[in-house]
Amino acid sequence: MTTPRTVELVVNGEPRAADAEPRMLLSDFLREKLALTGTHVGCEHGVCGACTVLVDGESVRSCLMLAVQAQGAEVRTIEGLGSADDMHPLQEAFWEKHGLQCGFCTPGMLMSAVELLESNPTAGRDEIREAISSTLCRCTGYQTIVEAVQAAAEKMQGEGQ
């Protein structure tokens, strides 16, 4: 049996710490130890993208990263993007443009899209499609998702975000 190790990191702007077995995945750590259940676990092989979070500003598959690898990192999850009372422009656009159906892929899709728009606020359709291609959606056919990301980009440019 291995000894748990305390993992200290900043999650959604707040310092957090919890014990984790050396083999515990970041996705499980977020969900089980920190009660942040917005990060969905789909395939557990890094293929579907539902578990995508931002680690130090870059998207990662949290089902492929060990919690101990996130020691000292800044992690941003879907819970840190916005709330029902104060939605991020991407969340609003997904709502308005019907960019989600079942919602299972939505957290990963939003985190991939926010990474894109923060690094390239004027991303075009092809760049959006490339960025979101890392997350599998079986419901929407992607068209409404692309439209939602475009609408959010326009709104964010207008707000100077």
Antiparallel, parallel or unpaired: β 52-55 and 14-20:
unpaired
Choice between 21 and 84, residue whose per-residue pLDDT is larger:
21
Question: How high is the pLDDT of residue 65?
Answer: 98
**What SS3 state is found at 6?**
strand
The residue to which tokens 């092809």 are assigned:
126
C-alpha–C-alpha distance, residues 160 and 158, integer Å: 6
Task: Dump pLDDT digits (tens) for 18-54.
Answer: 999 999 999 999 999 999 999 999 988 988 999 999 9
DSSP states of 38-70? TS---SSSSSS-TTEEEETTEEEETTTSBGGGG
Question: How high is the pLDDT of residue 1?
Answer: 63
Choice between 140 and 11, residue whose per-residue pLDDT is larger:
11
For residue 118, how many other CB atoms are within 10 A of its CB? 12
- Mean pLDDT value of segment 72-80: 98
CA–CA distance from 56 to each of 53, 106, 131 (Å)? Answer: 10, 21, 18
| 18, HSE (Cβ side, Cα atoms, 13 Å) | 18
Model confidence band, residue 99 (pLDDT cutoffs 50, 70, 90): confident
Question: How high is the pLDDT of residue 160?
Answer: 61
Model confidence band, residue 138 (pLDDT cutoffs 50, 70, 90): confident
**What SS3 state is found at 76?**
strand
Does the pLDDT value for residue 82 go beyond 60? yes
Does the pLDDT value for residue 150 go beyond 60? yes
Model confidence band, residue 84 (pLDDT cutoffs 50, 70, 90): confident
Domains and CATH numbers, the chain: 5-80 (3.10.20.30), 89-159 (1.10.150.120)
In sequence order, the 6+-apart residues with CB closer than 8 A to the CB of 119 are none
Query: How much is the mean pLDDT over the chain?
Result: 93
The residue to which tokens 């894109």 are assigned:
116
- Mean pLDDT value of segment 126-146: 90
Model confidence band, residue 79 (pLDDT cutoffs 50, 70, 90): very high
